[in-house]
């Protein structure tokens, strides 16, 4: 099953490689991993999307907790949460396709953030399924380049992850 | 100890002062370019003594053996690049068996890092998967606090090796020396006290059991919980087995001891593990050499209680009914309190029937061998070693058949007497580990039980033994075979003995 795991960790050189090294050493899956400092510059927040049986996910959270630089771990998918991913996608937008492409971006609440004679770069935010749906909706030949950040997640309401 | 607080010291001086503050008596190491400043400071004082090995693997194993035999932190010092890579086998050995150890490694100067400098290796990267934690010191201001953290991490929670990589320019730079009194890390707070409710539940399960079994591992040795375990087992009158890493936690010569479990264990210990209705696991991790296939193991219905300091050890291979995360001696002490306060005991009739069954299994005498053989049997050698040393020696071993014979036939009655590489299975461990054991126990008898294959993997350390006049007894069970390999080839490969004979190799090449 798909799980989205949030981690607070010390913002130190090498902390990221300890986490990614753990996943490769123990043969856990990573679908996406995203990390950046928080409002406290000494701390980073990481979101990992992974898949595995309940046993494997339990081991993943335990092994993450064991890393010395990891402060807190929570499996967001255990309860209500929100996740968002940002995608920048460069598409063909010549005279012929321009109108359709703009309309498609509007339907998905995307924004065109860069324009050239024959391309649009569209910014699109949403959960992973929405971004997948946008890619599906486009003609494969229309896509020139895709950049996705991987999901970031946060608990709903009073559910918080902080020190 | 006189503290030179606030004094400007070089990084190298700070390193040595930190070791003094930690009460380190011996450092096992090998000098090289990146650590010469540190070696110069070691030379200028006499509190921390340096033992010069012949290969960095030996330094790591010696520090490891020192730690295993004493519960003090073993320290080793190696240079950058090949110094570190040579030590990796020793570090991984300590990591797999959770041995508290601090490795200080030299690194090329900070300005040269990443430029493929002479004797440069990404030490933090290379050792990351086989240490509890590691550090690269990039600022002299952090040096003392980092070393303090290293010792704290190595010994607290589930112990393990911690490496501190120190660039050469840091050892030359100067900074005010202040050794921190204590360490607080927001990201590291190991659980010590077991959950009271779970402990109560465990005691209830245990006292209601019809066929109870106690299975203990290296965690009991590492946490010095042998006295609590022994009292606990005796109070209950239950059968007990110690794993390869846990031998000596309960006296092997006692009636309640069923020998070792697992692949190389006794029939009675394995049958009792399989057929019990309540299994108490203490500081053990249901390793593949102990329970084999976890799916097969899970087929027999039984309740499992698991005490361990490391939450990730619990329900890793086997589902557990009552997990207790905590420091083993404290948890056992809590359980003892409940037992002494008069929790009801297992029904005597059930326990008697269970023991009768166990005695039947024991009656098979699965470890019997031909004592009247003309050829000296290896088992006989170990029994004689036991006799000759009054069962009171520190015994190190390498890896292979001799290791299993030593584990099976030297009846360890005390903890920290049996020193072997259980997790990683490192051939070459025995001799250098014995050096560390001897330094930890200068007056004691130290025997290294080995085979002619293993001993050659760190044979260079004989020269260290000679230089420092270490009275280590080496018992070489020479069968002219890679015995354990041969055993497997015999069982699993139809007797196709690929590359397992010394003599033939030697003869054909001469």
Are A83 and A153 in contact by the 8 Å Cβ rule? The answer is yes
Residue B1 has pLDDT above 50, yes or no: no
Q: How confident is the model at residue B503 (pLDDT cuts 50, 70, 90)?
A: low
Q: How confident is the model at residue B6 (pLDDT cuts 50, 70, 90)?
A: confident
Domain range summary for chain A, segments of one domain joined by +: 2-78, 82-152
* DSSP element (H, E) containing A148: strand A143-148
- The pTM assigned to this predicted structure is 0.94
Are A81 and A4 in contact by the 8 Å Cβ rule? The answer is yes
pLDDT over 70, % of chain A: 100
Alpha helices, H only, A43-156: 54-66, 98-107, 128-137
In the predicted model, what is the mean pLDDT of residues B382-395? 97
Supply the pLDDT for residue B227.
Answer: 98
In the predicted model, what is the mean pLDDT of residues A22-40? 96
Q: How confident is the model at residue B508 (pLDDT cuts 50, 70, 90)?
A: very low
Burial class (CB in 10 A: 0-12, 13-18, 19+), B494: exposed
Could you tell me how far CA B447 lies from the centroid of its own chain?
A: 17
Higher pLDDT, B482 or A134: A134
In the predicted model, what is the mean pLDDT of residues B451-469? 97
Q: What value does the CA radius of gyration of chain B take, rounded to a whole number of Å?
A: 24
Q: Give the architecture-level CATH label for domain A82-152.
A: 2-Layer Sandwich (3.30)
CB within 8 Å: B128 and A21 = yes
Q: A2-78 sits in which CATH class?
A: alpha beta
Higher pLDDT, B436 or B498: B436
Residues 6+ apart with CB under 8 A from B148: B18, B179, B180, B183
Residues 6+ apart with CB under 8 A from A10: A42, A43, A44, A69, A70, A71, B187
End-to-end Cα, chain B, rounded Å: 60
Task: Write the pLDDT tens digit of every residue in B292-330.
Answer: 899 999 888 999 999 999 999 999 999 999 999 999 999
E-assigned strand segments in B339-459: 394-397, 418-419, 446-450
Are B166 and B15 in contact by the 8 Å Cβ rule? The answer is yes
Residue B402 has pLDDT above 60, yes or no: yes
In the predicted model, what is the mean pLDDT of residues A27-44? 96
CB within 8 Å: B124 and A14 = yes
Q: Which of B326, B306, B324, B340 is nearest to B234 (CA)?
A: B340
Residue A68 has pLDDT above 90, yes or no: yes
Higher pLDDT, B253 or B507: B253
Task: Write the pLDDT tens digit of every residue in A78-87.
Answer: 999 999 999 9
Residue B97 has pLDDT above 90, yes or no: yes
CB within 8 Å: A68 and B311 = no
| Pairs of residues, one from chain A and one from chain B, whose beta carbons lie less than 8 Å apart | 35
Residues on chain A touching B128 (C-beta within 8 angstroms): 14, 17-18, 21
**Beta strands A43-51; A2-10: pairing state:** antiparallel
CB within 8 Å: A17 and B125 = yes
Domains A2-78 and A82-152 share a fold: yes
**Beta strands A70-75; A2-10: pairing state:** antiparallel
Sign of CA pseudo-dihedral B54, B58, B63, B67: negative
Q: ipTM score of the complex? A: 0.92
In whole angstroms, what is the distance from residue B426 CA to residue B407 CA?
A: 16
* Average per-residue pLDDT for chain A: 96
Chain B, residues 300-339, CB within 8 A of chain A, namely 310-312, 315-316
Residues on chain A touching B153 (C-beta within 8 angstroms): 68
Q: CB neighbours (10 Å) of residue B116?
A: 9
Residues 6+ apart with CB under 8 A from B102: B73, B74, B75, B76, B147, B150, B151, B154, B161, B162, B163, B164
Chain A, residues 67-106, CB within 8 A of chain B, namely 68-71
Instruction: Indicate left, alpha or beta for A51 from its phi (over 0: left) and psi (-120 to 50: alpha).
Output: beta
Q: How confident is the model at residue B396 (pLDDT cuts 50, 70, 90)?
A: very high
Q: How far is A68 from chain B (nearest CA, A)?
A: 6
Are B93 and B424 in contact by the 8 Å Cβ rule? The answer is yes
Supply the pLDDT for residue B415.
Answer: 98
């Amino acid at each position: 099953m798909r799980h989205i795991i949030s981690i607070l960790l010390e913002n130190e050189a090498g902390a990221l490689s300890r986490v990614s090294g753990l996943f490769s050493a123990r043969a856990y899956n990573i679908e996406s991993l995203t990390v950046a400092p928080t409002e406290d510059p000494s701390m980073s927040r990481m979101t990992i999307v992974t898949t595995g049986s309940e046993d494997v996910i339990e081991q993943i959270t335990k092994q993450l907790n064991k890393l010395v630089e990891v402060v807190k771990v929570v499996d967001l998918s255990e309860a209500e949460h929100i996740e968002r991913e940002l995608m920048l996608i460069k598409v063909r937008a010549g005279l012929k396709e321009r109108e359709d492409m703009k309309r498609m971006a509007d339907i998905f609440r995307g924004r065109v953030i860069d324009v050239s004679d024959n391309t649009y770069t569209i910014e699109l935010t949403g959960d992973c399924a929405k971004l997948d749906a946008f890619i599906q909706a486009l003609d494969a030949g229309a896509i020139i380049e895709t950049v996705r950040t991987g999901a970031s997640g946060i608990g709903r309401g009073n559910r918080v992850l902080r020190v | 100890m006189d503290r030179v607080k606030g004094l400007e010291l070089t990084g190298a001086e700070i390193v040595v002062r930190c070791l003094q503050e930690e009460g380190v008596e011996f450092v096992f190491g090998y000098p090289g370019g990146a650590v010469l400043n540190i070696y110069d400071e070691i030379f200028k004082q006499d509190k921390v003594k340096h033992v010069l090995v012949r290969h960095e693997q030996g330094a790591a194993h010696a520090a490891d053996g020192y730690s295993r035999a004493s519960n003090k932190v073993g320290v080793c010092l190696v240079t950058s690049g090949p110094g570190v890579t040579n030590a990796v086998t020793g570090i991984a050995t300590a990591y797999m068996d959770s041995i508290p150890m601090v490795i200080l490694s030299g690194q090329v100067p900070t300005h040269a890092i990443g430029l493929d400098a002479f004797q440069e290796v990404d030490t933090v990267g290379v050792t990351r998967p086989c240490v509890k934690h590691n550090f690269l010191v990039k600022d002299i201001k952090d040096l003392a606090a980092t070393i303090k953290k290293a010792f704290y991490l190595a010994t607290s929670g589930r112990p393990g090796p911690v490496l501190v990589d120190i660039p050469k320019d840091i050892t030359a730079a100067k900074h005010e020396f202040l050794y921190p009194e204590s360490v607080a890390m927001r990201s590291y707070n190991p659980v010590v006290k077991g959950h009271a409710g779970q402990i109560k539940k465990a005691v209830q399960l245990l006292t209601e059991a019809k066929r109870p079994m106690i299975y203990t591992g290296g965690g009991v040795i590492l946490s010095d919980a042998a006295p609590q375990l022994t009292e606990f087992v005796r109070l209950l009158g239950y059968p007990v087995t110690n794993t390869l890493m846990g031998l000596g936690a309960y006296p092997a010569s006692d009636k309640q001891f069923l020998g070792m479990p697992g692949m190389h264990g006794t029939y009675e210990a394995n049958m009792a593990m399989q057929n019990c209705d309540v299994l108490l696991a203490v500081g053990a991790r249901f390793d593949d050499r102990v329970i084999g296939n976890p799916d097969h193991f899970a087929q027999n219905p039984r309740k499992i209680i698991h005490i361990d300091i490391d939450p990730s050890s619990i329900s890793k291979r086997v589902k557990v009914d009552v997990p207790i995360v905590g420091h083993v001696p404290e948890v056992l002490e809590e359980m003892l309190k409940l037992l002494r306060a008069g929790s009801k005991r297992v029904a005597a009739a059930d326990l008697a029937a269970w023991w009768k069954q166990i005695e039947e299994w024991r009656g098979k005498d699965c470890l019997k061998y031909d004592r009247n053989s003309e050829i000296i049997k290896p088992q006989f050698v170990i029994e004689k070693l036991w006799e000759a040393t009054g069962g009171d020696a520190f015994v190190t071993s390498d890896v292979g058949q001799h290791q299993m014979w030593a584990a099976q036939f030297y009846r360890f009655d005390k903890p920290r007497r049996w020193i072997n590489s259980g997790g990683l299975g490192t051939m070459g461990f025995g001799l250098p580990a014995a050096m560390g054991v001897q330094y930890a126990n200068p007056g004691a008898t130290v025997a290294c039980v080995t085979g002619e294959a293993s001993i050659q993997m760190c044979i260079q350390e004989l020269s260290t033994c000679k230089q420092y006049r270490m009275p280590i007894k080496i018992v070489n069970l020479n069968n002219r075979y890679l015995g354990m390999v041969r055993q497997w080839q015999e069982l699993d490969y139809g007797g196709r003995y690929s590359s397992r004979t010394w003599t033939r190799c030697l003869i054909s090449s001469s």
